[in-house]
Amino acid sequence: MPRTFTVSRSILVEASPQSVYEQVSQPALMGRWSPENLGATVPGGEEPAAVGLVFEGHNKRGAFRWTTRCTVTEADPGKRFAFRVHAIGLKRPRLRAPIATWEYRFEDKGGATKVTETWTDDRRSWPAFVANAFDRVATGGKTFAAFQVGNIDRTLKNLKREFETAR
């Protein structure tokens, strides 16, 4: 079976692109919406991240916890935010390798924002059979692409609920 390297999902949020961007571009806040992320350790405090910022993301899946090192690659206020995951480990991200890229696009829809979240598998050098076997163990039987569709859907629904409840 050929690997799927990118999955993307969208949702309409009743808020401005700038206000959604200001929240999503703060990695420490991601744990409020993501089913796996617990937040991040970000040098410099609670401001929208700038290109080049390196932060550590804290994650969980069931009882398993891990930390990633990420670098912000795009920070276009109200339009696009992206970061690359390039190291992973249990308590400290010691294993360096291309892992994934996460991107968020914000599109003005006349008083609302179409938020698109995209996950890209950066493990391009892994043979498909190795990646698929690893993925099934790590996700409980799915490929990471299929698994991430569910995670993205939950993240976007949680983001929408938070913004629209706050109104």
Comparison of pLDDT for 44 and 8, the residue scoring more: 8
Domain that holds residue 91: 12-166
The arithmetic mean of pLDDT across residues 4-27, rounded, is 97
What are the distances in angstroms from CA 107 to CA 2, 110, 114? Answer: 31, 9, 5
The predicted pLDDT at position 167 comes to 67
pLDDT of residue 7 exceeding 90, the answer is yes
User: Does residue 6 fall inside a structural domain?
Assistant: no
User: Does residue 32 fall inside a structural domain?
Assistant: yes
Sorting pLDDT into bands at 50, 70 and 90, what band is 1? low
Sorting pLDDT into bands at 50, 70 and 90, what band is 48? confident
User: Does residue 7 fall inside a structural domain?
Assistant: no
pLDDT of residue 19 exceeding 90, the answer is yes
Sorting pLDDT into bands at 50, 70 and 90, what band is 166? confident
Residue 118: how many other CB atoms lie within 10 Å: 17
Whichever domain contains 43, its CATH number is 3.30.530.20
The arithmetic mean of pLDDT across residues 8-26, rounded, is 97
Query: Could you tell me if 21 and 121 are in contact, meaning their C-beta atoms sit under 8 angstroms apart?
Result: no
Q: How many residues does the chain have?
A: 167
Within 8 A by CB and 6+ apart from 87, the residues are 68, 69, 93, 94, 95, 96, 97, 99
User: Based on the structure, what is the number of domains in the chain?
Assistant: 1
User: Does residue 1 fall inside a structural domain?
Assistant: no
pLDDT of residue 107 exceeding 90, the answer is yes
User: Does residue 30 fall inside a structural domain?
Assistant: yes
Quote the percentage of the chain above a pLDDT of 70. 99
User: Does residue 2 fall inside a structural domain?
Assistant: no
pLDDT tens digits along 121-163? 999 999 988 988 989 999 999 999 999 999 999 999 999 999 9
User: Does residue 64 fall inside a structural domain?
Assistant: yes
User: Does residue 56 fall inside a structural domain?
Assistant: yes
